[in-house]
Chain A
Amino acid sequence: MLFNSYAFIFLFFPVTFAVYFILNRKNLTLAAKSWLILASFFFYGYWNPIYVPLLLGSLLFNYAIGSTLIHTRERPVSPRLMLLVGIAGNLSLLAYFKYMDFFITNINAVSSLNLKLLHITLPLGISFFTFTQIAYLVDTARGTASERSLLNYALFVTFFPRLLVGPIVRHQEMMPQFDAPTNKVVNYKHIAQGLTLFFLGLFKKVIIADTLAGWANAGFDHTNSLALIEAWMTSLSYTLQLYYDFSGYTDMALGASLLFNIKLPINFNSPYKSLTIQEFWRRWHMTLSRFFRDYIYIPLGGSRVPERQIPINILATFFLVGLWHGAGWTFVIWGLLHGFALVVFHFWRKTPFRLPRFISWIITFNFVNAAWVFFRAQTFSDATRVLKGMVGLTGVILPEKFIHLFTALKQYGLQFGDVLTTIGWSERTFSFLIVSFFLAIFFKNSNKMAERLKPTWSAATALCIISVYAISNLQQVREFIYFNF
């Protein structure tokens, strides 16, 4: 089920919310938790029920491994072996459903086997619930997590606000909240903050991201005809679309969760304000960064290894970050580009040179923007065509109305003609892009707005306008980008 749908907002959520608190009010805590799990399975299966058994199977498998790990702490049985079995099981599931066709394509490319592709539909949220459970197993083996109740474990994995696209939570930061007595009653401050977050997220998704999506898609569908301005508009549209889409979804997830008095970790902290690439990864998809840092980079030795080993650790981690996002080489290239940038930054930090803040921001933002081109493009050649356009190698075309101002530049190859219209853009694109860019760079992010919310008439009026405007555009439902990952 989509957060940005009438079915979720006006039916599923109110019913789930009301029944949960009624049951809690009657001290039926177990029933309340069971209800939430049931609702979460319904939420998951609403889209395509055939993958509900997959989610259930994965949950039971990991619960069994987790329980064994808890017991092995008390008995002389190797927890390391159990952990390896658990991780291998999870990764096998992911390998089959997400990467099988990628493997086959690559085997076919380097051999004459010509194996048939399986065309497996990617089960929703598989990357997220698999990683959540891998983290749980590792934490259990380390002794920092422990869950003996199947009901609690099922709730931890399936809690619907974060089931499909995260945030990737740790057991110990979420589950104690369900047991806190104060969280079993309706909390109006949390409701006000939750509604604020949810509707800000909905607005970001429905009004901003979906509008930008039209232009980004048009650009990436016509990579052959992008001159300088079009190429920049295409890449910027996607850069902003991705941020508003994903952070919008996360806001809705955090908001919905807060209505149940459960605080999920924030996932975005104005990432495009970052001054360095390292800061970017501390602000972008923060729970995924944390996962890769704690469960891949640090176990590889992190920064506590000989200097020459650090770049290898960073690149290996970001190779996996790229691969996690999608079964394709363009994602791997994107991941490695970020890895290289972090390696460069690692060595730059050791020099005495420091750039002015504005220059740092320009470099960071432009690097991130250019790297997203590989992330979005269908093929490597599509990506290079957009990048060629961005550096002016496919020519520069200005709107006819500027012909009087720049006539002299015609001799240097500057052309005048229909700019942007060939791929469905209008002058509105510029203003919309600029406004959404400024909102991302200069405004407080939605988490801070919700955190500092004061229940005033002006805040209520603003939120009413935002929510009504977003709801009035709900009929044009688009999926979230991260559903593909």
Chain B
Amino acid sequence: MNYKTFSVIILCVIFVYVLTIALVNIVVDPFYIFRTPFLKLQAQRNDRYAKIEYLKKENVKYNFFILGSSRMYYTRPDMLEKYIPSGKGYNLATIMANVTEHLLHVRYLIKNGQPLKTLYIGLDIDFFFRVKTYKDQDYLLKLHPDVSNTNPIAFYWSYLSIIPKGDIKRKLKANFGKKKGRKIQLGKDGAVGPEVENRQIFFDNQSKLKDIIRDKKGRENLEVLRELVVLCNQNNINLIIFTTPHHRIIMDHFLEEEYLAFLKGLSEVTSFWDFSGYNSITTDDRNYFSFSHYTPSVSRLIAARIFDDKALHVPKDFGVWVTKDNIDAHLKDLKGSFKKTISYNKEGNHLIARAS
């Protein structure tokens, strides 16, 4: 073999390898980015990308948007439209969304001519402390390139050049396995249907709850939220912010002092509705279909409290309007309310919920 053959072999092998990986990603499309028609059923999708693509393609104008994590998936815009005069809304909630992403999304919406009048944001205290931005390698959580202002070629190439073995396997299973996946069709409103109502609560992934509160990230995210508040003020956007009602198991993992300090910090940035804490909703397992997600009926109760809808019965202890003037009194009420309502099994790994 001479040096020329040697070099050509190396280059050809690399080229064929990269081409093969790209082809596999196009055909399997594990994150539902390329929308190729080969494998129709999905195991998962990148919602951040899918929802912005929908807004771009349909070119419909909305004057209010729902932002938040998967906990906000079940908040239907049509449910809120009755509270917001001439409101037309879209649910832009995405899995594990954080406040940096809210800011980027709002910037994008303003820049792209959405007549934004109202923002309805559910803030998760646990995510607030956990993340500021996700890594580039989190392919399910990557922002649309128009939102993150990254090069679209680099964005699409990143999905062509990876080898997500687990995700490919899941997609193949969804299409050829016994348990079929979903044929994903995004609704016009971006929300997910109410099929989780009345589903019995399940307790998964609770080990992730360890060390929920980290002060540094919380402070950083408060600064990002401050930017969002300023942006909304500058653009005359009515900003409705509330803390999501965390199940008591999540509350149990908060450090009391840090949690109260966070609420105090939040009140200094903006007024908000506080649905967190131990109350008649968060301590009742029937209101949750997983320890992390509340049911659509709780979404309706939240809206009823915020918009003072007398037609629905909202428990008195559910939801407090917090401003910098009443924050100290609110914290006084909350202080000492922490009670451990969970216990560990023998291995100490899994949490078992006590009957509420």
CA distance A474 to B18 in the complex (A): 11
Contact with B along A231-267 (1 / 0, CB 8 A): 0000000000000000000000000000000000000
Task: Please name all residues of chain A whose beta carbon is closer than 8 Å to the beta carbon of B136 when the two chains form the complex.
Answer: 475, 477
Task: Please name all residues of chain A whose beta carbon is closer than 8 Å to the beta carbon of B154 when the two chains form the complex.
Answer: 7
Q: Which 10 A-B pairs have the closest CB atoms?
A: A455-B6, A188-B3, A188-B4, A192-B3, A464-B13, A191-B7, A189-B3, A455-B1, A192-B6, A475-B162
Question: B2 an interface residue at 8 Å Cβ cutoff?
Answer: yes
Q: Is the CB of B9 within 8 A of A460?
A: yes
Q: 13 interchain pairs (CB within 8 A)?
A: A7-B157, A10-B18, A188-B2, A188-B4, A191-B7, A192-B10, A195-B7, A199-B10, A460-B6, A460-B9, A464-B13, A467-B10, A471-B18
Question: B270 an interface residue at 8 Å Cβ cutoff?
Answer: no
Q: A460-B1, A471-B17 are in contact. Are A6 and B161 (CB under 8 A)?
A: yes
Task: Please name all residues of chain B whose beta carbon is closer than 8 Å to the beta carbon of A310 when the two chains form the complex.
Answer: none
Name the distance in Å between B222's Cβ and chain A's nearest Cβ: 20
Task: Please name all residues of chain A whose beta carbon is closer than 8 Å to the beta carbon of B5 when the two chains form the complex.
Answer: 455
Q: Is the CB of B9 within 8 A of A464?
A: yes
Q: A6-B161, A475-B137, A475-B162 are in contact. Are A468 and B3 (CB under 8 A)?
A: no
Total residue contacts A-B, CB cutoff 8 A: 59
Task: Please name all residues of chain B whose beta carbon is closer than 8 Å to the beta carbon of A192 when the two chains form the complex.
Answer: 3, 6-7, 10
Number of interface residues of A (CB under 8 A): 24
Name the distance in Å between A412's Cβ and chain B's nearest Cβ: 30
Question: B209 an interface residue at 8 Å Cβ cutoff?
Answer: no
Question: B163 an interface residue at 8 Å Cβ cutoff?
Answer: yes
CA distance A425 to B171 in the complex (A): 31
Query: Across the two chains, which residue of chain B brings its CB closest to A259?
Result: B7
CA distance A135 to B320 in the complex (A): 68
Task: Please name all residues of chain B whose beta carbon is closer than 8 Å to the beta carbon of A472 when the two chains form the complex.
Answer: 17, 21, 163
Name the distance in Å between A224's Cβ and chain B's nearest Cβ: 15
Task: Please name all residues of chain A whose beta carbon is closer than 8 Å to the beta carbon of B2 when the two chains form the complex.
Answer: 188, 455
Question: A476 an interface residue at 8 Å Cβ cutoff?
Answer: yes
Q: Is the CB of B7 within 8 A of A188?
A: yes
A interface residues (Cβ-Cβ under 8 A, vs B)? 6-7, 10, 188-189, 191-192, 195, 199, 455-457, 459-460, 463-464, 467-468, 471-472, 474-477
CA distance A475 to B3 in the complex (A): 30
Task: Please name all residues of chain B whose beta carbon is closer than 8 Å to the beta carbon of A474 when the two chains form the complex.
Answer: 161
Task: Please name all residues of chain A whose beta carbon is closer than 8 Å to the beta carbon of B3 when the two chains form the complex.
Answer: 188-189, 191-192, 455
Q: Is the CB of A459 within 8 A of B157?
A: no
Name the distance in Å between A421's Cβ and chain B's nearest Cβ: 13
Q: Is the CB of B137 within 8 A of A463?
A: no
Extra contacts, 7 of them, besides A7-B154, A464-B13, A467-B10 (Cβ < 8 A), are A7-B157, A10-B18, A192-B10, A471-B17, A471-B18, A472-B163, A476-B137
Q: A188-B7, A464-B13, A471-B17 are in contact. Are A456 and B157 (CB under 8 A)?
A: no
Task: Please name all residues of chain A whose beta carbon is closer than 8 Å to the beta carbon of B1 when the two chains form the complex.
Answer: 455-457, 460
Tell me whether chain A's interface is mostly helix, strand or loop, or mixed. helix
Name the distance in Å between B149's Cβ and chain A's nearest Cβ: 14
Q: Is the CB of A475 within 8 A of B14?
A: no
Q: Which of B182-198 contact A (CB under 8 A)?
A: none
Task: Please name all residues of chain A whose beta carbon is closer than 8 Å to the beta carbon of B11 when the two chains form the complex.
Answer: 195
Task: Please name all residues of chain A whose beta carbon is closer than 8 Å to the beta carbon of B10 when the two chains form the complex.
Answer: 192, 195, 199, 460, 463-464, 467
CA distance A188 to B6 in the complex (A): 9
CA distance A344 to B162 in the complex (A): 51
Task: Please name all residues of chain A whose beta carbon is closer than 8 Å to the beta carbon of B13 when the two chains form the complex.
Answer: 464, 467-468
Name the distance in Å between A29's Cβ and chain B's nearest Cβ: 24
Q: Which of B152-168 contact A (CB under 8 A)?
A: 154, 157-158, 161-163
CA distance A455 to B7 in the complex (A): 9
Task: Please name all residues of chain B whose beta carbon is closer than 8 Å to the beta carbon of A476 when the two chains form the complex.
Answer: 137
CA distance A474 to B158 in the complex (A): 10
Most-contacted residue by chain B among A195, A455, A467 (CB, 10 A)? A455
Of A457, A463, A467, A475, which one neighbours B158 at CB under 8 angstroms?
A: A475
CA distance A471 to B2 in the complex (A): 25
Q: Is the CB of A6 within 8 A of B157?
A: yes
Query: Across the two chains, which residue of chain B brings its CB closest to A7?
Result: B154
CA distance A463 to B12 in the complex (A): 12
Query: Across the two chains, which residue of chain A brings its CB closest to B17?
Result: A468
Q: Is the CB of A468 within 8 A of B14?
A: yes
Contact with A along B8-37 (1 / 0, CB 8 A): 011101100110010000000000000000
Task: Please name all residues of chain B whose beta carbon is closer than 8 Å to the beta carbon of A475 when the two chains form the complex.
Answer: 136-137, 158, 161-162
Task: Please name all residues of chain A whose beta carbon is closer than 8 Å to the beta carbon of B158 when the two chains form the complex.
Answer: 475
CA distance A191 to B137 in the complex (A): 32
Task: Please name all residues of chain B whose beta carbon is closer than 8 Å to the beta carbon of A455 when the two chains form the complex.
Answer: 1-3, 5-6
CA distance A195 to B21 in the complex (A): 21
CA distance A75 to B18 in the complex (A): 60
Name the distance in Å between A48's Cβ and chain B's nearest Cβ: 14
CA distance A259 to B23 in the complex (A): 29
Most-contacted residue by chain A among B7, B11, B157 (CB, 10 A)? B7
CA distance A463 to B4 in the complex (A): 15
Query: Across the two chains, which residue of chain A brings its CB closest to B12?
Result: A464
CA distance A455 to B162 in the complex (A): 31
Name the distance in Å between A480's Cβ and chain B's nearest Cβ: 17
Query: Across the two chains, which residue of chain B brings its CB closest to A475?
Result: B162
Name the distance in Å between B303's Cβ and chain A's nearest Cβ: 41
Most-contacted residue by chain B among A10, A457, A472, A475 (CB, 10 A)? A475
Query: Across the two chains, which residue of chain B brings its CB closest to A474?
Result: B161
CA distance A468 to B10 in the complex (A): 9
CA distance A467 to B16 in the complex (A): 12
Most-contacted residue by chain A among B5, B14, B161, B163 (CB, 10 A)? B14
Task: Please name all residues of chain B whose beta carbon is closer than 8 Å to the beta carbon of A468 when the two chains form the complex.
Answer: 13-14, 17
Name the distance in Å between B178's Cβ and chain A's nearest Cβ: 31
Task: Please name all residues of chain B whose beta carbon is closer than 8 Å to the beta carbon of A195 when the two chains form the complex.
Answer: 7, 10-11
